[in-house]
Amino acid sequence: MRLFWAPNTRSMRVLWMLEETGAPYERVLVDLKAGAQHRPEYHAINPMEKVPALQDGAACVAESGAIIAYLAEKFPEAGLAPPIGAPTRGRFLQWLFFSGACVEGAIAEKFTKAEMPEHIAGFGSFDRVFNVLEEVLSSTPYLLGEKFSAADVLIGADLHFVINAFKMLEPRPVFAAYLERCQSRPAFSRAAKINSDGV
Ligand SMILES: N[C@@H](CCC(=O)N[C@@H](CS)C(=O)NCC(=O)O)C(=O)O
């Protein structure tokens, strides 16, 4: 498997996930400043010309949530996804889609200060998105209950980005405790080191 990535980007989500699986992979740096994402050879891998993207033999997959779902299914022995038919499978898929559909919208709202009526915006509003996550994480240690899953990789990485990196959200005890749980995992530390080393 080859991960196309760049440091300090949304690639961190997939780096963390790959480290959770323990599977071997190669990292290919995409030099965003030099415009490498716009080269035809990278366009063939991700037509959106953004990182991250994963190549696995003849398979290519882009969009962080999709890559994480792909890896969770490819490596069931890692125990990061409830099996098809399990009651928690529905919520698992919900949180994987929630990142792209709702968290990304909320971040864009904050960055651009754009105002959209809540009933028009699919994500509702910045406040609603993070209040919902806070509500869920107030009653269970992880999104699916007692067990860490790939959904926590994605949403945990999003919360890390929003709270720690970009300071878009005021500190909240529920998120601080959740991030501490998620980030105490060795796979997170390995991914964070790769991210800061930049190679
Ligand atoms: N929807 C994509 C977003 C990916 C994305 O926005 N990547 C940014 C880095 S954080 C990027 O590659 N930007 C380079 C560019 O747009 O030229 C995902 O979830 O993976």
> Relative to the CA of 50, which ligand 1 atom is closest?
12
> Relative to the CA of 14, which ligand 1 atom is closest?
20
Which of 4, 5, 8, 10 for a ligand 1 pocket mutation test, highest count of atoms within 8 Å of Cβ?
10
- Is the pLDDT score of 174 beyond 90? yes
For the domain 2-79, what is the CATH code?
Answer: 3.40.30.10
Closest CA to 113 of 168, 162, 188: 168
The full length of the chain comes to: 199
Residues 158, 159, 161, 166: is their CA dihedral positive or negative? Answer: positive
| Same fold across 2-79 and 89-187 | no
End-to-end CA distance of the chain: 16
**pTM for the whole thing?**
0.97
pLDDT in tens, 62-107: 999 999 999 999 999 999 999 999 999 999 999 999 999 999 999 9
Tell me the mean pLDDT in the region 108-129.
94
Q: What residues have CB less than 8 Å from 187, skipping those under 6 apart? A: 16, 19, 20
Burial (CB count <10 Å: 0-12, 13-18, 19+), residue 117: exposed
Domain boundaries, the chain: 2-79, 89-187
Amino acid at 117: P
Classified as helix, coil or strand, 153 is helix
* Average pLDDT, rounded, for the chain: 97
For the record, the structure tokens of 27 come out as 């990292």
Q: Are 82 and 149 in contact (CB under 8 A)?
A: yes
Q: How wide is the angle at C-alpha 41 spanned by C-alphas 40 and 43, nearest 5°?
A: 60
Residue with tokens 């010309």: 49
Closest CA to 143 of 107, 174, 171: 174
Tell me the mean pLDDT in the region 150-176.
96
Q: Is 89-187 a domain of CATH 1.20.120.1200? A: no
DSSP 40-58: HHHHTT-TT--S-EEEETT
- Is the pLDDT score of 178 beyond 90? yes
- The ligand 1 site (C-beta within 6 Å) comprises 9-10, 32, 37, 50-52, 63-64, 100
> Relative to the CA of 52, which ligand 1 atom is closest?
20
Q: What does the pLDDT read at residue 163?
A: 95
Q: What does the pLDDT read at residue 113?
A: 93
Whole-number Å distance, alpha carbon 13 to ligand 1 midpoint, is 12
> In the chain, what is the greatest distance between 2 CA atoms, to the nearest angstrom?
47
Q: What does the pLDDT read at residue 107?
A: 95
- Is the pLDDT score of 115 beyond 90? no
For the record, the structure tokens of 162 come out as 């929003």
Q: What does the pLDDT read at residue 26?
A: 98
Whole-number Å distance, alpha carbon 52 to ligand 1 midpoint, is 7
Whole-number Å distance, alpha carbon 93 to ligand 1 midpoint, is 21
Whole-number Å distance, alpha carbon 5 to ligand 1 midpoint, is 10
For the record, the structure tokens of 13 come out as 């989500």
Burial (CB count <10 Å: 0-12, 13-18, 19+), residue 134: middle
